[in-house]
Amino acid sequence: MGHKTCLYEAHQEAGAKIVDFGGWDMPLHYGSQIEEHHCVRQRAGMFDVSHMTIVDVTGAQAREYLRYLLANDVDKLKSVGKALYSGMLNETGGVLDDLIVYRMPKDYRAVVNCATREKDLAWMRQQAESFDVEITERPEMAMIAVQGPEALSRIRQAVPEHSALIDELKVFQGLEAEDWMFCRTGYTGEDGLEVMVPAAKAPAFWKSLLEAGVEPCGLGARDTLRLEAGMNLYGSDMDESVTPLQSNMAWTVSLTDDRDFIGKQALLDQKQAGVPDKLVGLVLEARGVLRGHQKVVVDGLGEGEITSGTFSPTLGYSVALARVPAQTGAQCQVEMRKKLVPVNVVKPPFVRHGKKVYE
């Protein structure tokens, strides 16, 4: 038996197929993963993401601490509520986790992955020993992601008392309303909100969303949606063995200032020596499904590996993320059933707002 979120009974009542995910009993789907995927692309779906770890970073040196802890620079957060995506690295530049950090009225709030919770918190507290800062986990908070082209209007119906604040939100911004926090972020490539709500109030909020026409969706659809959107999954597309420069995350690294951060020198050294490989998108429009760990062959350059792959319900064919030699061009081959199948190399994302976006 794994950990259960405060919405576990709601998932059971809805007939969810429950699976283990990072030590949590979570819904894989409620009947049809593909229907849930299309629901988010076309209307509005909701996900229980209460297994994610919410961490408040407070204290006189919270800013200095986060500037040292993260590869991206929290000084980019010029206004309250602004959000920043970043890797948290070890000394060799490997990715310990990826996370979002929000600038709060006085301090900061971070959201990290559930599967790396214990490792993340231990690392954050170890690094905090040199700073006047406190690391406070917020297990009393639940989190519900509502995503899709109709997401904002449906949330307004569910909680009309928060409509004015929702109307204020800019993309990649989170604002508090009493003990709630509405964040215009997500993991699907669609517009929507991730709502942090006291766990005691989450079941009623979930019910209100259902009554407003939002459909429950599971981890299966969340994975196909995020892959279509070209978003990395920790443990598959990046981990401690690779740097952000090898994981299509160079845009999240601030190397150009005098700020020191954990792993910076390793990244500078790798950049100077030449980054050996890169994370790219692969597209297979012929029959077949690209899967994680399939071998990628690049003529004249060597081999790589698919890190995440799936059939794309939106596009109607297979897409993948793969780590390949840095000089890989527009085509390569994937080993499928002992045969080499040609695929196109593209720059992710594959889908945004329900439409094909790659070339």
Instruction: For residues 327-350, give the mean pLDDT.
Output: 97
Cα 187 off chain centre by: 5
pLDDT recorded at residue 256: 84
Cβ density class 265-302: b for 16+ within 10 Å, e for less: ebbeebeeeeeebbbbbbbbeeebebebebebbbeeee
Instruction: For residues 301-321, give the mean pLDDT.
Output: 98
**Residue 233 and residue 226 in contact, taking contact as beta carbons nearer than 8 Å:** yes
pLDDT > 90 fraction of the chain, expressed in percent and rounded:
97
Element (H, E) at 38: helix 33-42
Measured CA to CA, the distance from residue 197 to residue 312 in angstroms comes to 32
Does the structure show a pLDDT above 80 at 1? no
pLDDT recorded at residue 326: 98
Peptide bond preceding 139: is omega within 30 degrees of 0, i.e. cis? no
Residue 125 φ then ψ, to 5°: -75, -35
pLDDT recorded at residue 114: 85
Q: Which of 156, 141, 143 is nearest to 214 (CA)?
A: 156
How does DSSP assign 141-196, residue by residue?
A: EEEEEEESTTHHHHHHHH-GGGHHHHHHPPTTBEEEETTEEEE---SSSS-EEEEE
Q: Which of 222, 220, 213 is nearest to 194 (CA)?
A: 222
pLDDT > 70 fraction of the chain, expressed in percent and rounded:
100
pLDDT in tens, 146-194: 999 999 999 999 999 999 999 999 999 999 999 999 999 999 999 999 9
Tokens describing residue 164 = 């004015």
Confidence band, pLDDT 50/70/90 cuts, at residue 203: very high
Instruction: For residues 90-96, give the mean pLDDT.
Output: 98
Cα 347 off chain centre by: 18
Does the structure show a pLDDT above 80 at 13? yes
pLDDT in tens, 34-79: 999 999 999 999 999 999 999 999 999 999 999 999 999 999 999 9
pLDDT in tens, 238-275: 999 999 999 999 999 999 889 999 999 999 999 999 99
Per-residue H/E/C for 207-234: HHHHHCCCEECCHHHHHHHHHHCCCCCE
Dihedral angle at the C-alpha atoms of 254, 257, 259, 264, nearest 10 degrees? 50
The structure's pTM equals 0.96
pLDDT in tens, 124-149: 999 999 999 999 999 999 999 999 99
From the number of C-beta atoms within 10 Å of its C-beta (0-12, 13-18, 19+), residue 58 rates as: middle
Confidence band, pLDDT 50/70/90 cuts, at residue 205: very high
How does DSSP assign 57-110, residue by residue?
A: EESTTHHHHHHHHBSS-GGG--STTBEEEEEEE-TTS-EEEEEEEEE-SSSEEE
Confidence band, pLDDT 50/70/90 cuts, at residue 82: very high
- Contacts from 333-339 at CB under 8 Å and sequence distance 24+? 333/296, 333/297, 333/298, 333/299, 334/282, 334/284, 334/290, 334/294, 334/295, 334/296, 334/297, 334/306, 335/294, 335/295, 335/296, 335/297, 336/288, 336/294
Measured CA to CA, the distance from residue 249 to residue 278 in angstroms comes to 10
